[in-house]
Structure 1
Amino acid sequence: MSHTHEHNHEHSQSSKGLSHIHSHRNLIGFDEHGIPTVTLKASDHGGESSLEDFTKDYMNAVQEYRKTFPSKQNVIENTPDPAVRDMLLRMEQLGIDTTFDRFDAQKPQCNYGLSGTCCKNCNMGPCRITSKAPKGVCGADADLIVARNLLRSAAAGAAQHGMHAREVMLALKKAAEGELDVPILGEQKIRATAEAFGIKQKNRQLKNVAKDLADALLEDLSRTVPAEYKTISACALPERQKVWEKLDILPISVYHEVFEAYHKTSCGTDGDWKSVMQQFLRVGLAFTFSGVVGASIATDSLFGVGDRVTSKVNIGALEKGYVNIAVHGHLPLLVSEIVKAGKREDLIELAKSKGAKGIRFYGICCSGLSAMYRDSGVIPLSNAVSAELVIGTGALDLWVADVQDVFPAIMDVANCFKTTVVTTSESARLPGAERFEYDHHHSNLNETKKLAEKIVRRAIESFENRKGMQVYIPPYEVEAEVGFSVEYIHKRFGSMKPLADAIKEGKILGIVNMVGCNNPKVLYEKCIVDVADELIKNNVLIITNGCASFPLMKLGYCAVSGKEKAGDLLREFLEPDLPPVWHVGECIDNTRSSGIFAGIANELGKDMYELPYAFCSPEWGNEKGIDAALGFRLNGLNSYHCVEAPIHGSKNVIEFLKYGTKELLGSTMNVDTNPVNLAKKIVADMKEKRKQLGWD
């Protein structure tokens, strides 16, 4: 990475880190969609806009951005899934609020919150930055406040995925030690990963290798004494490890970096926005390699990788007359045992004795996505934002709420339909829900099968108590192909070479990993569908996981017939039995996407950042979304979004987050509220990459 003389002057003070990032003089502007943009001036001298002008401009920009937020009526008229439209109208008739009603009620959203210039980290505030008050009580300016807020959001995301990771790592460890009575199904994954980690395997039982692997993953999660971050050493690209070491952003552990993030951003600690953003990058690495990669390794090791299967999708797949159980959240252990219990003949007969036809399972958010291709018969219905609409059918007898992305509002709807809600974690309780939980110390982890049976029995009781409840199920149901992975691709093609050849030859223009949450700041699920339409007609293959994958499943993009939407070259590659969107699983299965990217790069003898790849989360909405995009950007891949981050009160943080990382990491953050224009930008950037490779 080259540096100017000006950069080298600062490097004399520190050979590592982000000290060479100087404060560019920027002018804020607005594109045709009202989104703030930054223009870098050629020098630090002359023509600089005043703070008063800048404050006025960014507030105007935020107000214009706010005008792009849709109303509930806009959603009803434009959401692409007719089942969502039907259920929104039904909920309105019943007088039940949804996410979209509450979003409308919050309007107009606070300008200071949207711009990131509100600070409440101490009790001398809250402070907000204006032209009249350009600094908070402690002296923090807009750059520092925006950077601190962004870092705290990233730390929260790392804690969320980190807790998910801890659960599955602990489960793998306890299963290996014999304290958890579940089989270890992922021998191939354990063996291959153990080799990368340098764990001895010769003449050792699988359970002992699995225990050592779980211990290594847990150590990276919680290390306090600085040492090698084994997951990064084993799994990250060597080229990237050199970049991160040079920037001094290699983490100690997730726990430490989250701890340090809150320490740095507390009152009177770190006053340098550049230092705060350096910690932001460290948190992103910790999130990626423990919260995502580590969690994925542990999950696939314990439960197996699974395989490609065909699944029914959407609300129309619900059936009356069964004991209907929904699993919602992120943790696979108890969910897998609940599904197993629900297939037991004695419990099925109990359900039939109460008048049911049998027991059926449905998936909401990532619990459903993790189970759908591992446990037959778990039907994915909805992402987190529209979970209330699923309960609003009146067809669910019991709702299993584990952790994350379970909105408190589901309780209001569940009470209207006498749907029993049970929580399964001490970390994630809901007022009024029944508790069938692992305790804080996981001392009852060995009671997993008992908990699962109790939950299924409670569902049967709920079915009996709900007889006569009015049910409405919109008649929309399709099939989707799910369970794509590195392992499936090798089984299907023999290696990554056919994919690599197709990209080089131009049958596949490039590959996009399309993921993320949903967000009422844009038209629900339409942004995802509009981006997908534009990409696949331009011969871009899409890999998907997490909440963003639901509209792609529900609307036929994950079906083999979906290839008819693709461009001629991509369609030729997909023949005879591949869809244009490959569903790889839950949100931690971003690891599978990056594994596919890396495998193709290896075949072509290229670094991953050189290839026509992209990360896209059109509707991202929660803190984990910041980290997910950052994880791919740390690997040199651009990210693309239809929703802005709350950063536009700071021209320096805007420049750093969106454009400044081009020099540091080789990647940029691109935002456009118009999804078609966003997709066109992705296609154009891919064509430029191909031109640089000599493939145009």
Structure 2
Amino acid sequence: MSLPLLGPEKVLATAKAFGIYQEGKTIAELAESLADLLLEDMSRAVPAPHRTITAMAPPERVETWSGLDIIPISSYHEVFEALHRTGTGTDGDWENLMKQLLRCGLAFAWNSVVGPSIAADCLYGPPKRSQIETNFASIKKEYVNIALHGHSPVLPSALVQAGRDPELVELARAQGAAGIRLYGICCSGLSALYRYGEVHPLSNALGAELIMGTGALDVWVADLQDIYPGIMDVAACFHTKVVTTSDSCRLPGAIHMAIDHQHGNMSAALGQAKEIVRLAIRNYPARQQENVYIPEVSLEAEVGFSVENITQAFGSLDELAGLIKNGRIKGIVNLVGCNNPKVVYEQAILQVADILLANDIIVLTNGCASFPLLKMGYCSPKALAKAGPGLQGVLGARSLPPVWHMGECLDNARASGLFRALADKSGQPLTRMPVAFASPEWSNEKGVGAALSFRLMGLNSYHCIPAPVQGSDKVAGFFASDTQELLGSVMVVVTDPRGLGEKIVADLEQRRNQIGWTPNIKGVNK
């Protein structure tokens, strides 16, 4: 598959971090060497140093993980080993199984999150801060409308390119449409959004059926992960065609136009994207206008935050670290995760955010948890009215929102990168910094993996729903508290969202006091 490298600065910076930069090598040559290293860390079978962890992880953490003997050989090896150990009559020592869990957690963090994040920025370019329109009313019924649902950036990037094609735009107009418009469901839309600005975010996975229920979507493109079969039942009520594009994720009754299992037709991605757009154009006249209902609700939001452009916004990370140290900013929390039907849809995320902002704590967000924050205006400078006086002063002077949207769930790598950079600037280990991970509504394997990734970094994880490990008191205890001695972090569960927010505030203040940055607060602003 021939793609231009739209992130040459990322290629250079990462090549230097990995120690493979050589004068005279082209960007393409460096990118090829970098890709080989990332793939080797993903798939090696013979033990060897894990290059991504060595290059990118804090040295203090690498020392801790090495001492625990949990540095992974590779993702493929550790997942295969986990399957082997849990087979009949194999590993009967629960503590040894938990050690393997931690190896898988590191493999998830550094191979499945950090590695692809690096690769995506090199291929498709880094995020760009931009203003976008979100929520239902960003759907325009006079356009050919295409939804992008899933997590792979390959087809969405090709679909953006196809949607710009003058020939296809003219074909849409010939059918009576004003043009072609793309919308984001879950993470595929978010990754395309902050790079191209032409994809309008509408919903996370749990709310996908509500979007399809507008009757205004002509084609729904589903690639992989967080795609529930129920969307087929909703699509059958309207004219919407569902197209699956991954061999890993097929839906009964959907049109399958996919990259094959051997990836032998990767070079045809743009052609496939154009055919999907043509399908949407052909389907546009079949839309039944009496079945179309689009709630007139929309808001502006700012997206595309990264370590690089946050640094630019403050002049330097030293300035941001200084504001945290002097207490005008009390801390930063990565508020992310999927949604869970066991609690009121999206409510917990907003209630936790309200408590954090009122107490001068910046919120980072990405993925499914970011949608309520986008739709309810938290990603706009206007939301500073919800913040405490410290954040109002610091962020208001820079026209920044109190919630910084960093992209798709893969972009937890950006949050951990920011945390590490601020710890370095502050001269403190991550285990002492006033930063944390919160996933109030976590519900699936990725949510556990994401929480574990930050726990391994020495940061507490905070939730409103217990982890599904109650069958074993020992394993439940390991998840909840035993990792404090091993990793310097614990899992905190408070079922009341506001109570969870207050617990985060108190714990971050305790970390600040231990460093000696601020005196005790009188109470939590609710």
Normalising by structure 2, what TM-score? 0.97
1:521 aligns with 2:342: yes
Counterpart amino acid of 2:185?
I
**Given that residues 79 and 104 in structure 2 are in contact (C-alpha distance below 8 angstroms), is that contact kept between their aligned partners in structure 1?**
yes
**Given that residues 332 and 435 in structure 2 are in contact (C-alpha distance below 8 angstroms), is that contact kept between their aligned partners in structure 1?**
yes
After superposition, the C-alpha distances for 1:300-334 in whole angstroms (9 at most, x for unaligned) are: 01001021000111112111121000000001111
SS of the residue aligned with 2:196?
Answer: coil
**Given that residues 643 and 672 in structure 1 are in contact (C-alpha distance below 8 angstroms), is that contact kept between their aligned partners in structure 2?**
yes
**Given that residues 558 and 581 in structure 1 are in contact (C-alpha distance below 8 angstroms), is that contact kept between their aligned partners in structure 2?**
yes
Aligned to 1:406: 227
Aligned to 1:392: 213
1:490 aligns with 2:311: yes
SS of the residue aligned with 2:133?
Answer: strand
1:366 aligns with 2:187: yes
Question: C-alpha separation between the residues in 2 aligned to 1:566 and 1:498?
Answer: 20
Q: With CA pairs under 8 Å and 6+ residues apart, which has the higher RCO, 1 or 2?
A: 1
Picking from 468, 490, 495, the partner of 1:646 is 468
1:347 aligns with 2:168: yes
Question: C-alpha separation between the residues in 2 aligned to 1:539 and 1:492?
Answer: 18
Counterpart amino acid of 2:452?
L
SS of the residue aligned with 2:217?
Answer: coil
Where structure 1 has 5 or more consecutive residues not aligned to the other structure, the ranges are: 1-179
Counterpart amino acid of 1:362?
Y
1:632 aligns with 2:451: no
1:356 aligns with 2:177: yes
Aligned to 2:502: 680
Where structure 2 has 5 or more consecutive residues not aligned to the other structure, the ranges are: 519-526
1:608 aligns with 2:433: no
Question: C-alpha separation between the residues in 2 aligned to 1:199 and 1:271?
Answer: 42
Question: C-alpha separation between the residues in 1 aligned to 2:307 and 2:127?
Answer: 11
Q: 1:244-393, aligned counterparts within 5 Å?
A: 244-393=65-214
SS of the residue aligned with 2:302?
Answer: strand
Picking from 395, 402, 414, the partner of 1:592 is 414
Counterpart amino acid of 1:344?
D
Q: 1:93-108, aligned counterparts within 5 Å?
A: none
Query: Which protein has the larger Cα radius of gyration, Structure 1 or Structure 2?
Result: 1
1:239 aligns with 2:72: no
Post-superposition offset of 1:678: 0.5
1:668 aligns with 2:520: no
Post-superposition offset of 1:523: 0.9
Aligned to 1:556: 377
Picking from 311, 326, 330, the partner of 1:505 is 326
Counterpart amino acid of 1:327?
L
Q: Aligned residues, how many?
A: 517
Distance 1:433 1:469, change over 3 A: farther
Distance 1:231 1:572, change over 3 A: same
Counterpart amino acid of 1:267?
T
SS of the residue aligned with 2:471?
Answer: coil
**Given that residues 394 and 469 in structure 1 are in contact (C-alpha distance below 8 angstroms), is that contact kept between their aligned partners in structure 2?**
no
**Given that residues 417 and 469 in structure 1 are in contact (C-alpha distance below 8 angstroms), is that contact kept between their aligned partners in structure 2?**
no
Distance 1:353 1:279, change over 3 A: same
Q: 1:32-51, aligned counterparts within 5 Å?
A: none
Counterpart amino acid of 1:239?
E
Counterpart amino acid of 2:412?
N
Question: C-alpha separation between the residues in 2 aligned to 1:492 and 1:674?
Answer: 35
SS of the residue aligned with 2:146?
Answer: strand
Aligned to 2:523: none
CA RMSD of aligned residues (A): 0.9
**Given that residues 216 and 287 in structure 2 are in contact (C-alpha distance below 8 angstroms), is that contact kept between their aligned partners in structure 1?**
no
Picking from 11, 15, 21, the partner of 1:190 is 11
1:201 aligns with 2:22: yes
Post-superposition offset of 1:441: 0.5
Question: C-alpha separation between the residues in 1 aligned to 2:21 and 2:301?
Answer: 40
**Given that residues 544 and 581 in structure 1 are in contact (C-alpha distance below 8 angstroms), is that contact kept between their aligned partners in structure 2?**
yes
Post-superposition offset of 1:208: 0.8
Post-superposition offset of 1:415: 1.1
Aligned to 1:475: 296
Aligned to 2:244: 423
Aligned to 2:278: 457
Counterpart amino acid of 1:646?
P
After superposition, the C-alpha distances for 1:440-495 in whole angstroms (9 at most, x for unaligned) are: 10011111111111111111011122254510111110011100001111222232
**Given that residues 317 and 425 in structure 2 are in contact (C-alpha distance below 8 angstroms), is that contact kept between their aligned partners in structure 1?**
yes
After superposition, the C-alpha distances for 1:175-216 in whole angstroms (9 at most, x for unaligned) are: xxxxx2321111111111111111133101111110110110
After superposition, the C-alpha distances for 1:247-291 in whole angstroms (9 at most, x for unaligned) are: 010100001111011111111111111111110000000000010
SS of the residue aligned with 2:462?
Answer: strand
SS of the residue aligned with 1:662?
Answer: helix
Further displaced range: 322-331 or 311-320: 311-320
Counterpart amino acid of 2:117?
S
Question: C-alpha separation between the residues in 1 aligned to 2:458 and 2:197?
Answer: 37
Question: C-alpha separation between the residues in 2 aligned to 1:385 and 1:427?
Answer: 20
After superposition, the C-alpha distances for 1:493-513 in whole angstroms (9 at most, x for unaligned) are: 232112101100101111100
Normalising by structure 1, what TM-score? 0.74
Distance 1:678 1:421, change over 3 A: same
1:623 aligns with 2:445: yes
After superposition, the C-alpha distances for 1:606-654 in whole angstroms (9 at most, x for unaligned) are: 1111110110000011101101000000010000001111222322112
**Given that residues 215 and 287 in structure 2 are in contact (C-alpha distance below 8 angstroms), is that contact kept between their aligned partners in structure 1?**
no
Counterpart amino acid of 2:428?
K
SS of the residue aligned with 1:373?
Answer: helix
Counterpart amino acid of 2:273?
A
Further displaced range: 558-567 or 644-653: 644-653
Q: 1:99-118, aligned counterparts within 5 Å?
A: none
